[in-house]
Amino acid sequence: MGRIHLTERQWAFIYPLLPPPARTGRPRADDRRTIEGILYMLITGCRWQDLPSEYGAPTTVWRRLRRWGEDGVWERMWRAALATLDQQSKLDWSIAFLDGSFAPAKKGGEKVGVTKKGKGTKWMVVVEGNGLPLGFHLDRATTAEVRLAEVTLDTISVHRPRGRPRQRPEKLVADRGYDSAGFRHALRGRGIRMCIPPKRRPAKWKAKRGRPVVARKEEYRQRFTVERSFAWLGNFRRLLIRWEHLFSVYRSFFIVAVLLLCLRRVA
């Protein structure tokens, strides 16, 4: 595969967000080359020992990925990109979509659950109207998606020049797997309108209390947006199958992926 590199515009955005180098000790490896090595691993999904030498030593790239993930550097970059897109009016807050997906973990590892599909990690992603991830949560595959829904919404935080970060879309669309009285109550408490179809029930079943549940078809038909977002994430081969034993390393790869999706939209 050809060389993978950051564009000048992407590097100009990232560079001011890099942590300052240490004043003592050995100087750290070239930042741009190392980050491009992380992107090569993320996009190609190759083994660490197969990383081309032009990106530096595989151990150096791995350590940078892990350390900056644990220090929150990747997440700060991603949230800065979201804030920039929001200022450029490129985020559609009028509607959002929530869904989950499954990544098999062939060798197991931290936060890996065993399901009928095998061992794996669950992705929970909430995207805005154009499909860009506003928030995400990774967990064991054994946990039901509806139980992770509120935790995923809690990860939405887009900073603005004035006031508090924006954390709520106007409306949330999800499939019938999220048809839960508790989750609907939580959305009402957040002031978020919802489009969630009811679960299939026997023909004679009648609700004993509460208002009838209605899901508008024209809004629900737009749910392909989140499926398309999963397809975008699927282009990063290192995410499709989890080979990392350490959860922090796999999560760092995931954050770099959503960061790159946002950087491609920044003007």
d(CA 179, CA 195) in angstroms, rounded, equals 10
Decide if 213 is inside a domain.
yes
Sign of the C-alpha dihedral computed for residues 178, 183, 189 and 190 taken in this order: negative
Q: For residue 3, what pLDDT is reported?
A: 79
Decide if 139 is inside a domain.
yes
CB proximity list for 84: less than 8 A, separation 6 or greater: 13, 266
Decide if 3 is inside a domain.
no
Q: For residue 216, what pLDDT is reported?
A: 63
Decide if 2 is inside a domain.
no
Per-residue pLDDT of the chain (267 residues; tens, 9 = 90+): 567 899 999 999 999 999 998 888 888 999 999 999 999 999 999 999 999 999 999 999 999 999 999 999 999 999 999 999 999 999 999 999 999 999 999 889 999 999 998 999 999 999 999 999 999 999 999 999 999 999 999 999 999 999 999 999 999 999 999 999 999 999 999 999 999 988 766 666 566 555 545 556 788 889 999 999 999 999 999 999 999 999 999 999 999 999 999 999 996
Q: List the domain range (segments joined by +) for residue 227.
A: 8-18+29-263
What's the number of domains the chain is made of? 1
Q: For residue 41, what pLDDT is reported?
A: 97
Q: What pTM was estimated for this model as a whole? A: 0.92
Decide if 222 is inside a domain.
yes
Q: In whole angstroms, how far apart are CA 46 and each of 61, 103, 199, 204, 246?
A: 13, 17, 41, 54, 17
CB proximity list for 128: less than 8 A, separation 6 or greater: 91, 92, 93, 95, 96, 134, 169
Q: Which CATH number is 197's domain given? A: 3.30.420.10
Decide if 23 is inside a domain.
no
* Main-chain dihedrals φ then ψ at residue 195, nearest 5 degrees: -135, 90
Q: For residue 24, what pLDDT is reported?
A: 85
Q: For residue 210, what pLDDT is reported?
A: 54
